[in-house]
């Protein structure tokens, strides 16, 4: 056998091996990069305004306070600077790199910078300036924080067990969190009266020993975090029982699993599948023993951990492939058929998708707890892929009854993220917004598009629909069919996309016939469809859906029955941003359920909250319809489409046989040559 033939055969074998790997790669990551699988240029969208009703919390349309808030309409704003964990509310010092400064309040005149609680005043002022109804303050849970000088530290205590002062004692050895809450309530009122709406129990406690090594010498343990969280939560509730308590505000999948490898996690890992379970169970036990709910909202942070083919984080990338992956990345929140290319997911896939797993933990260990994402980000604030990711995420949050969410961009230019928020909250520049009641929608299982539909209350004539085209090059011809008591005769179409973040009124379609019409979706675009219609008592009983609505992998979370099965209806009925976000004081026993005796400048909180307005709006009635007949689904599993599986299986077998033949024949010929 000559050298050329031998080289040729080895090259053929190598090509076969590469083909095998390519086929396997296409099958395994098709859901994450999604080029041709379930990507159709012609999509049938089906909407049923009488089915699948879920109240949408208005607080999912939030942003972190560090962001540029001009020209964006949001309903929630949160303190978020990393220094905040070390913030001393008595004098406004915070710590970084072993020294203290007034960095967090440097926007104030020098003669005011040491007024108590100035950083909290900043968030209140921001909320007033931008007409943001819900605002949140972070409380310090670290053992030590910034002191009175550039290098000093002070002890953090939760319970002063003494009279609260109108101006705190800055010369003592401690900073008291209950006195901080008392100060804020005296200054701004109770949450139910428009004061601070919610308090966070610390901020990323898993990172304290890394961020503040001189103040925190050892990593926070699981047990320590629960103990300190329950004590701090009680400090809040005894002062303002109408304020919501959020915790533990961990950041990232590994932190959710083992509090970033805390030293004591092994002793709990046999009983609990991840730290979130242990935290919820422990906070419920603490609540039961105290006679009041100590945790209102399970809060987590998620900044995408997805990487591109070179294992570079997409959150900081803007190449074409990263853009493609970014637009699919929100599927980690809900889609069990999605596989993300990240170390955390590959190592801990049993906890994915995130929201159904978090929800299952809530249902099992602390029912009635709400869910929030106080920070989330998929990158690309200055490009359309980032805008699409946020717009899709907001629809996901609406579908899964998430209570509160604040995007935290990592770029200065966030024009496309602003448009993603505004398309829901103020798409026409005159205050028009997505509805407060999610309804049923379907899009053929096309993973390169998403659809979310809503109405206001039970008024089916107020239909508004968000549609997203994630394809980077191709238009999508879209047929829209609506099942409704309302007869729709016109629709106004608003959109943003491409290189332009501005939301523009693109078209108005009149003369809609039988609640069905067609539109073309431009590549990389987000649409708001605002329908005009009139209520009709007669349901369109003759409405049918064609067979092609059956899907093997759902593209919109509102339609994923297997993932939605464990959802807790957390959002209160008729949530209205005109009513301050709060919980009813009657939910909690007064602080006197313990044997503590506390002299307080604030009168007994539970007794004095007399202006709480009970929300009397009833939740929308869900029509009794067998939705499986209308929107058929296959059982959700982590899989790729069956056709791909068959193709890959045949290809694998063929390649293995060819490679085996080539290598065996090569071996025999080589052996014969040696014998000669």
Provide the pLDDT for residue 533: 84
Spatial contact of 437 and 54, defined as CB atoms under 8 Å apart: yes
C-alpha distances in Å from residue 185, one per residue of 241, 273, 404, 580, 605 = 11, 39, 22, 14, 10
- The pLDDT > 90 percentage for the chain reads 65
Spatial contact of 257 and 274, defined as CB atoms under 8 Å apart: yes
Q: How many helices (H) and strands (E) does the chain have?
A: 17, 23
Provide the pLDDT for residue 531: 97
State how far the Cα of 507 lies from the Cα of 527, in Å rounded to an integer: 11
Provide the pLDDT for residue 470: 96
State how far the Cα of 353 lies from the Cα of 589, in Å rounded to an integer: 36
Provide the pLDDT for residue 23: 35
Spatial contact of 221 and 127, defined as CB atoms under 8 Å apart: no
Provide the pLDDT for residue 453: 98
State how far the Cα of 438 lies from the Cα of 564, in Å rounded to an integer: 14
- The structure's pTM equals 0.80
**Mean pLDDT, residues 332-340 taken together:** 94
**Which of these, 96, 206, 198, lies nearest to 142 by C-alpha position?**
206
Taking all residues of the chain, what is their mean pLDDT, rounded to a whole number? 81
With 90 as the cut, is the pLDDT of residue 552 above it?
no
- In tens, the pLDDT along 42-78 reads 899 999 999 999 999 999 999 999 999 999 999 999 9
Provide the pLDDT for residue 647: 46
**Mean pLDDT, residues 546-553 taken together:** 30
With 50 as the cut, is the pLDDT of residue 597 above it?
no
Provide the pLDDT for residue 139: 98
With 70 as the cut, is the pLDDT of residue 388 above it?
yes
Question: Parallel, antiparallel, or unpaired for β 99-101 and 459-469?
Answer: unpaired
User: Which of 194-198, 338-342, 480-484, 623-627 is predicted least confidently?
Assistant: 623-627
With 50 as the cut, is the pLDDT of residue 550 above it?
no
Q: How many CB atoms lie within 10 A of CB 481?
A: 21
Q: How confident is the model at residue 239 (pLDDT cuts 50, 70, 90)?
A: very high
540: β partners: none
State how far the Cα of 304 lies from the Cα of 338, in Å rounded to an integer: 14
With 60 as the cut, is the pLDDT of residue 26 above it?
no
State how far the Cα of 169 lies from the Cα of 184, in Å rounded to an integer: 16
- In tens, the pLDDT along 623-657 reads 333 333 323 333 333 333 444 444 444 554 554 45
For 446, phi then psi, to 5°, come to -75, 110
**Position with higher pLDDT, 362 vs 634:** 362
User: Which of 18-32, 123-137, 408-422, 522-536 is predicted least confidently?
Assistant: 18-32
State how far the Cα of 444 lies from the Cα of 428, in Å rounded to an integer: 29
């Amino acid at each position: 056998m000559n050298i050329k033939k031998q080289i040729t055969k080895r090259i053929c074998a190598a090509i076969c091996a590469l083909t095998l790997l390519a086929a396997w790669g296409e099958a395994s990551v098709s859901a994450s990069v999604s080029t041709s699988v379930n990507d159709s240029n012609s999509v049938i969208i089906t909407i049923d305004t009488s089915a699948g009703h879920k109240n949408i919390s208005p607080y999912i349309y939030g942003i972190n306070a560090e962001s540029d808030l001009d020209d964006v309409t949001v309903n929630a704003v949160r303190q978020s600077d990393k220094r905040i964990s070390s913030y001393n509310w008595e004098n406004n010092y915070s710590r970084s790199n072993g020294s203290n400064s007034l960095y967090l309040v440097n926007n104030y005149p020098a003669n005011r910078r040491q007024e108590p609680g100035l950083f909290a005043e900043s968030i209140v002022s921001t909320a007033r300036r931008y007409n943001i109804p819900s605002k949140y303050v972070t409380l310090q849970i670290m053992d030590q924080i910034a002191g009175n000088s550039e290098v000093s530290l002070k002890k953090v205590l939760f319970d002063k067990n003494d009279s609260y002062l109108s101006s705190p004692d800055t010369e003592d050895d401690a900073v008291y969190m209950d006195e901080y809450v008392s100060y804020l309530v005296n200054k701004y009122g109770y949450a139910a009266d428009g004061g601070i709406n919610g308090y966070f129990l610390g901020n990323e406690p898993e990172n304290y020993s890394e961020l503040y090594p001189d103040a925190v010498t050892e990593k926070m343990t699981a047990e320590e975090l629960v103990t300190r969280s329950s004590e701090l939560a009680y400090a809040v509730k005894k002062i303002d029982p109408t304020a919501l308590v959020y915790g533990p505000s961990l950041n990232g999948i590994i932190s959710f699993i083992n509090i970033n490898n805390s030293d004591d996690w092994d002793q709990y890992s046999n009983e609990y599948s991840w730290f979130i379970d242990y935290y919820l169970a422990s906070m419920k036990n603490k609540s039961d023993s105290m006679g009041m709910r100590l945790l209102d909202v399970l809060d987590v942070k998620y900044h995408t951990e997805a990487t591109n083919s070179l294992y570079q984080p997409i959150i900081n990338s803007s190449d074409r492939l990263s853009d493609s992956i970014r637009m699919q990345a929100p599927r980690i929140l809900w889609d069990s058929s999605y596989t993300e290319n990240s170390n955390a997911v590959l190592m801990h896939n049993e906890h994915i998708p995130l929201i159904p797993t978090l929800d299952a933990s809530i249902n099992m260990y602390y029912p009635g707890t709400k869910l929030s994402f106080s920070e989330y980000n998929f990158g690309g604030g200055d490009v359309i892929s980032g805008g699409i990711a946020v717009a899709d995420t907001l629809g996901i949050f609406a579908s899964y009854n998430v209570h509160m969410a604040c995007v935290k961009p990592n770029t200065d230019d966030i024009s496309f993220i602003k448009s993603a928020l505004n398309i829901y909250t103020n798409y026409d520049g005159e205050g028009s917004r997505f509805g407060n009641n999610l309804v049923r929608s379907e899009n053929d299982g096309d993973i390169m598009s998403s659809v979310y539909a809503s109405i206001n209350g039970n008024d089916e004539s107020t239909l508004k629909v968000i549609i997203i085209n994630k394809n980077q090059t191709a238009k999508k011809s879209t047929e829209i069919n609506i099942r409704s008591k309302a007869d729709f005769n016109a629709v106004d179409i608003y959109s943003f996309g491409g290189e332009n973040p501005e939301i523009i009124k693109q078209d108005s379609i009149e003369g809609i016939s039988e609640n069905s019409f067609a539109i073309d979706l431009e590549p990389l675009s987000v649409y708001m469809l605002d329908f005009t219609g009139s209520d009709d008592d007669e349901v369109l009983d003759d409405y049918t859906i064609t067979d092609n609505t059956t899907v093997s992998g759902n593209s919109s979370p509102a339609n994923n029955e297997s993932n939605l099965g464990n959802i807790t209806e957390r959002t209160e009925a008729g949530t209205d941003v005109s009513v301050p976000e709060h919980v009813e004081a009657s939910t909690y026993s007064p602080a006197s359920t313990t044997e503590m005796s506390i002299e307080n400048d604030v009168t007994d909180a539970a007794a004095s909250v007399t202006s709480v307005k009970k929300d009397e709006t009833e939740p929308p009635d869900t029509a009794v319809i067998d939705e499986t007949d209308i929107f058929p689904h296959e059982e959700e599993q982590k899989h790729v489409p069956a056709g791909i599986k068959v193709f890959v299986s045949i290809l694998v077998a063929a390649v293995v046989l060819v490679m085996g033949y080539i290598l065996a024949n090569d071996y025999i010929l080589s052996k014969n040559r040696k014998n000669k």
